[in-house]
Amino acid sequence: MIIEELTESEKQYYYMEQCHQWVDEQSQVLGRPLKAAVITFGCQMNARDSEKLTGILEKIGYEMTDSETADFVIYNTCTVRENANTRVYGRLGHLKMLKRKNPAMLIALCGCMMQEPEVVEKLKKSYRHVDIIFGTHNIFKFAELIYQRITEKKMVVDIWKDTEQIVEDLPNDRKYSFKTGINIMFGCNNFCSYCIVPYVRGRERSRQPEDIIREIEAAVADGVVEIMLLGQNVNSYGKNLEQPISFAELLRQICRIEGLERVRFMTSHPKDLSDELIQVMAEEPKICRHLHLPLQSGSTEILRKMNRKYTKDDYLKLVDKIRSACPDISLTTDIIVGFPGETEEDFLETMDVVKKVGYDSAYTFIYSKRTGTPAAAMEEQISKEVIKDRFNRLLEEVQTIAAKVCARHEGEVQDVLVEEVNQQDSSLVSGRLSNNTVVHFKGDASLIGKIVPVKLESCKNFYYMGQM
């Protein structure tokens, strides 16, 4: 067999076989099965990538565990915030100690943090106990990199600056049997001035619609009823394809899949959320009644500095359009407080949008300088005291409004997708409405993965207590 003649996924399955033989030999020597742990930091994109890493490790013959005392430990890293890196270095020190006790242990690092050249140089110099380092663009090569490490017996470093390549049909092990994330595209071309993602996830590239449909059909055949379509900015889906297709058109095709009950998606950038998409959301009942629409700031001047490409008015007009087409939609958002140069007037603009929109919930962040982004070099960094004060005022406003907005469905009967037995009270189960609000009600584990009608009896600020 000539490896070069194989497709990329065939090649990777070949390396999985080779690694499996090695794992079998090791477990015979140790007289026990080998264990592996995938530790995930960061966003849903990373969580989905970790399901792929887990699928490959299982295919190679490892048994999965959550414990870092495993024989193979991989950190899927995040680098959105400066302190995320510090935490990883700290934990690598702990792994060094564990490796002294288990010399057969292998340690791997991947994810966004590895796309930073200075990080990789530091790891190569001061963390020689790490065995494999790769980035966000070549996750599909995981088995080949493990094979390289076990055959060459030295640290393997394989970081790609960028890629056009998307490799399909590799193993993956979903965290949930009834729902899953589906990548529709990778990378981001927006270059918001505070964000490191475009530098570590590369340029936008979309998967072929037929590959996405095929993956969803296979997941539905395997028991999935709800999917989350993932992309840094799903609105840009399809633009780089030979036959461009809009995100709205892709959604229509996905909603035709038999057995699929619910479709969610994130993240939708306000700058290019199309009328076509709003129309599809209004017409397709499978599309969940929840939209995450990051605002970041309500001040047009700060939005300009953030390079967000929309104004306060654009955003409010868009919300009106969405609300008139989908009156029952729940809106959530992301807001950054303390961006360089933010004045009290700018902050009050943000508070004004929060009052006008009435979000079901909002992720509020204190601006964190991220080396390597244009914003990090900006003058007028705001003092901690001022940021803290604004953050607390914003949080109070958001939570007060959210508690009222969230309660609008009290007394109604709505469908809930049951996700788990309640961790605090095992006589209850917990699930989500189409608008993503959590509901707890009497039930048992046999309901997990099922969509059941529940009477929403009382709203407790951000969740409901109900009765099936």
Q: Which residues bind ligand SF4 (CB under 6 A)?
A: 188, 190-192, 195, 197-198, 232-233, 269
Nearer to ligand SF4, 188 or 337 (CB): 188
Distance between CA atoms of 63 and 23, rounded to whole angstroms?
11
Nearer to ligand SF4, 272 or 284 (CB): 272
How far the first Cα of the chain sits from its last, in Å, is 58
Question: Helix (H, G, I), strand (E, B), or coil: what is residue 410?
Answer: coil
- Cβ neighbour number for residue 391 with a 10 Å cutoff: 19
Contact 292, 266 (CB under 8 A): yes
Distances (CA, A) of 447 to 286, 432, 457, 459, 468: 20, 13, 19, 22, 11
Distance between CA atoms of 8 and 180, rounded to whole angstroms?
24
- Cβ neighbour number for residue 139 with a 10 Å cutoff: 19
CB of 315 to ligand SF4, least distance (A): 14
- Alpha helices per DSSP H over 31-81: 44-60
- Alpha helices per DSSP H over 256-383: 275-283, 300-305, 312-325, 344-357
Nearer to ligand SF4, 235 or 435 (CB): 235
Nearer to ligand SF4, 298 or 443 (CB): 298
CB of 240 to ligand SF4, least distance (A): 15
CB of 204 to ligand SF4, least distance (A): 9
Nearer to ligand SF4, 14 or 365 (CB): 365
Nearer to ligand SF4, 191 or 363 (CB): 191
CB of 206 to ligand SF4, least distance (A): 15
CB of 294 to ligand SF4, least distance (A): 7
CB of 89 to ligand SF4, least distance (A): 24
Distance between CA atoms of 36 and 414, rounded to whole angstroms?
41
Nearer to ligand SF4, 252 or 369 (CB): 369
CB of 260 to ligand SF4, least distance (A): 27
Nearer to ligand SF4, 234 or 428 (CB): 234
- Alpha helices per DSSP H over 69-179: 82-101, 117-126, 142-152
- Residue length of the chain: 468
Task: Annotate 16-37 with b (16+ C-beta within 10 A) or e (fewer).
Answer: beebeebbeebbeeeeeebbbb
Distances (CA, A) of 321 to 174, 249, 266, 313: 36, 19, 19, 12
CB of 267 to ligand SF4, least distance (A): 6
